[in-house]
Amino acid sequence: MLVSLKIENFALIDQLAIDLRPGLNVLTGETGAGKSIILDAIDAVLGSKATGRLVRTGAKKALVEATFEVRPAVAAWLEQHEIPAAALLSCRRELTAGKGAVRSRSKLNGVSINKAQMEELRQLLVEITAQGQTVQLGSADLQRDWLDGFGGQSILQQRQAVAAAHAAATAAWQALDRRQRAEQQRQQQLDLFEYQARELSSMNLDDPEELERLKQEQQRLSHSVDLQKQSYQVYQILYESDGTADACADLLGKVESILTDMQRFDSEVDPILELVSDALAQVEEAGRQVNTYGEGLETDPERLAEVDQRILQLKQLCRKYGRELPELIDYYQEIQAALEALNGDGQSMEALETAHQQAQQRLIDDCAKLTQLRRQTAQQLEQQLIAELKPLAMERVKFEVAIQPQAPSAAGADAITFLFSPNPGEPLQPLAEIASGGEMSRFLLALKACFSKVDPISTLVFDEIDVGVSGRVAQAIAEKLHQLSRQHQVLCVTHQPLVAAMADAHFRVGKQVVQAAKSKRRKAEAAVDPDERTVVRVMALDSEARREELAQLAGGRSHQEAIAFADSLLAQAETIRKAS
């Protein structure tokens, strides 16, 4: 149940707080008074699309906060999403105006949530039926969803089974279709891939760095004589000189000997001696390694020829395939995978055809079960809906749920059409083609009444569901709204005094022009008076104010007559409430 609503800087609303009650809550006011803005705010806090017009002119940020009473289904949802639960749930949405866009942030009990989560929770909190929505009654998909929803868990579970069977059948068909299309091109692709695979396999491609490694080996073999000479020169300089100059190791040895003598008289040379000793050891080791390196170098013309040939082959192959060697190795692996796929990926054509037939038959069987459940549910809906329509001045209405076969889909194999005849002697025709606006409104209200006991939503919102009706029909709608309000909290925008009189809580909505605070004055883009602003105000009406409001709604009479009429409406409403 929606307990309270707090709105700041939203459209024409500067600041507004409303405390709602269980049962039937009614909003009345002149046309254009701002009643729909309040419903827009409820819609916005529950995740509807945000636009710049929702942020009040001159303000940077709009805020809507709705507080709900937590029912078991909502508590379970909050626990599932690890959101702190309490007796009340605070849904808060901030809209921040920017250049050409609006940023939005939603929170539940202080925890940020995304749009998908808010839309999911909305299904448990509020359903808004707005003006013009009756046009959607003609949607075949919506009619099918309503029928399934009325059927409850048995239909919804079977529909899930159908969706799973449809997904499996689709996957089986796609696998078969891929194989069939692949088979048409199989031989041509096999010839190409097998040739490429043989060619690449014969080259023993397994090392992405082979070409670079071969180039280094080529350089070493090509310059082996020079490398031998240079390594011997390094060895002489470092370790064993055969000329007049001492080798580096000899010089360091002499230095080490001198420092050793100095050490006897002054220990401060110890660190220097240590450095020289380390340098001598490293020079000697370098000399030995360069000597070993030089002795290991050999001229090998045959190996050089092999390396040159391998490099040439690899370069030619890379040019042919337009790839570097690492990419060519990857391509070889792709070819092997493609060959495996072309050979059926482990499944024969016959196996794929059998799998598709089995999946298709499972889908047909599940659809047949769903059709049977829908036919049973359709009879129940027909009977109950007619019973709900009769009190709405449609005593001789006829209604039928037509179920016709169609190609299986994730929603089953049924085309659902609501057929309707409001007048005796007239044939049943599709609802959207024959029903007037008033009849559509009453049909939708009756449909909601049928769902009242199975619908998990706690709050139903109606925006002028009684538009276009009067007199006896308006009274019937008022009583139906009262009936709904015993199962759900109902919030209704109306111009009908008969409906307003049935309210458990009555609010008057109106616009006022107020002086703008100087510190908050802003010039809008259009030419407006910056000293005055229009705001929406909502007043909870006491018994005396309700009399006046109902009299205003009735109109067309003298004030005394209108007040008397209002009193009669309130008395009648009280009688109906006591009898229900």
**Total length of the chain:** 580
Long-range (24+ apart) CB contacts under 8 A made by 179-185 are 179/344, 179/347, 179/349, 179/352, 180/349, 182/341, 182/342, 183/349
pLDDT tens-place values along the chain, 580 residues long: 999 999 999 988 888 999 999 999 999 988 878 888 898 899 899 988 888 788 888 888 999 999 999 988 888 899 999 888 888 999 999 998 877 778 889 999 989 999 889 888 888 888 887 655 555 566 788 789 889 988 888 999 999 999 999 999 999 999 888 878 767 777 777 788 888 888 888 888 888 888 888 888 777 777 777 777 777 778 777 777 666 677 787 788 888 888 888 888 888 888 888 898 888 889 888 888 887 877 777 777 777 788 788 888 888 888 888 888 888 888 888 888 888 776 655 567 788 899 999 999 999 999 999 999 999 999 999 999 998 888 887 888 889 999 999 999 999 999 999 898 888 888 888 877 776 666 777 787 888 888 776 666 788 888 887 776 777 888 888 888 888 888 889 999 988 888 899 999 999 998 888 776 654 444 444 444 566 788 888 899 998 898 888 888 887 566 788 888 888 888 888 888 888 7
Long-range (24+ apart) CB contacts under 8 A made by 247-250 are 247/287, 248/283, 249/280, 249/283, 249/284, 249/287
Cα distance between residue 545 and residue 548, in whole Å: 5
Nearest to 144 by CA among 411, 366, 385: 411
- In this structure, the number of other CB atoms found within 10 A of the CB of residue 336 comes to 14
Query: Domains, the chain, ranges and CATH?
Result: 2-131+422-579 (3.40.50.300), 188-342 (no CATH)
pTM greater than 0.85 (yes/no)? no
List all residues 6 or more positions away from 520 whose beta carbon is below 8 Å from its beta carbon: 58
Nearest to 44 by CA among 109, 99, 126, 133: 126
Q: Are 185 and 433 spatial neighbours (Cβ–Cβ below 8 Å)?
A: no
State the Cα angle at 463 between 457 and 465, rounded to 5°: 95
Q: Are 523 and 530 spatial neighbours (Cβ–Cβ below 8 Å)?
A: yes
| DSSP H/E element including 72 | helix 72-80
List all residues 6 or more positions away from 151 whose beta carbon is below 8 Å from its beta carbon: 373, 374, 376, 377
Mutual angle of helices 349-389 and 140-151, in 10-degree steps:
80
Beta bridge partners of 429: 420
Say whether 268 sits in a helix, a strand or coil.
helix
What is each CA distance from 40 to 48, 289, 538, in whole angstroms? 9, 86, 15
**DSSP secondary structure string for all residues of 271-335:** HHHHHHHHHHHHHHHHHHHHHHHHHH----HHHHHHHHHHHHHHHHHHHHHT--HHHHHHHHHHH
